[in-house]
Amino acid sequence: MKKIAVLDDYQRVALSFAEWSRLDGRAEITVFHDHIGEFEPLVARLQDFDAVCLMRERTPFPAALFERLPNLKLLITTGMANASVDAAAAARHGIVFCGTGGSGHATAELTISLILSLARGLPAEMASLAAGGWQVGVGRELAGARLGILGLGRLGSRLAEYGKVFGMDVVAWSQNLTPEAAAQKGARHVSKEELFSTSDYISIHLKLSDRTVGLVGSPEFALMKRDACLVNTSRGPIVDQDALIAALKEGRIGGAALDVYDEEPLPAGHPLRAAPNLIMTPHIGYVSRQTYRVFYGQTLENIEAWLDGKPVRVIGA
């Protein structure tokens, strides 16, 4: 039988979101709930497996890892893109690299919930009530506030729709966005400088690339209004985390909410954990029942197709 590893099942739910019993007698499934970030221990864990199933961008797969796994023949990622996998190296080693579909709603829904939490100061109010207190702040309404969206692709466009429902003034910017494209998606195109200087809430929905690493840093925080808030549910390195911590500690912005980080899982002693006026969630933007059913269901389908010699959802094909 083929040996198949399912990695980074943090919530211990992978086996409940697909009918893995369909592989009985054909493959042996091993699910790992912990995360291994060190190279040699990861090699030791995976060296006997024929196939590895990844949760997108949790465990990196650089070229050096492929070189150490001669038994590996199939690599499956959730989603149809995974920036932490060297796809060219997979091809060079003759490894089938394939992916799955996903949900177009979960991350945008989390984003609007984070914006609402910042607007109404929910963490402070909940903490006060839990400690025996009562009201401690005065919240804001979203109606009439300006929502600035960096990146108006699939998720950014959906957030624009949500912002409109709440009566927000939606503006957007990205390197390639045109006024016409922005208008088609319910937003008004502005310059990057205008977006940062006039928005009450700024949300990032850009792909991580050489152009976007550090795109939001000290100059951008200096432009923001003192009560404006930043939300990042995209990728951690897009925001300069040191600059963000400084802006929060010095009270130069009103607050921030993060679902993504430079290093994941976030180390216990990371400075972000002590930053004021910061809401943090553990990269749960895509973590929903509906998304996981697609992720693990189509992962299983890819394995079955591979075992049967049929086409799989090859990335880049």
**Which residues are catalytically annotated?**
235, 264, 283
Sheet holding 27-31, edge to edge: 27-31, 2-6, 51-54, 74-77, 96-98
Amino acid at position 183, single letter: A
Spatial separation of the C-alpha atoms in residues 99 and 80, rounded to whole Å: 5
Contacts of 117 (CB under 8 A, 6+ apart): 123, 257, 279
CB-facing half-sphere around the CA of 156: CA atoms within 13 A? 27
* Burial of 194 (C-beta count, 10 Å sphere; 0-12/13-18/19+): middle
Contacts of 34 (CB under 8 A, 6+ apart): none
Contacts of 164 (CB under 8 A, 6+ apart): 170, 186
Count other C-beta atoms under 10 Å from residue 110's C-beta. 20
DSSP secondary structure string, 201-235? EEEE----STTTTT-BSHHHHHHS-TT-EEEE-S-
Backbone dihedral angles phi then psi of residue 105, each to the nearest 5 degrees: -120, -35
Which tokens go with 56?
A: 């997108």
- Nearest residue to 78 (alpha-carbon basis) of 12, 11, 6, 147: 6
Spatial separation of the C-alpha atoms in residues 254 and 248, rounded to whole Å: 7
* Burial of 172 (C-beta count, 10 Å sphere; 0-12/13-18/19+): buried
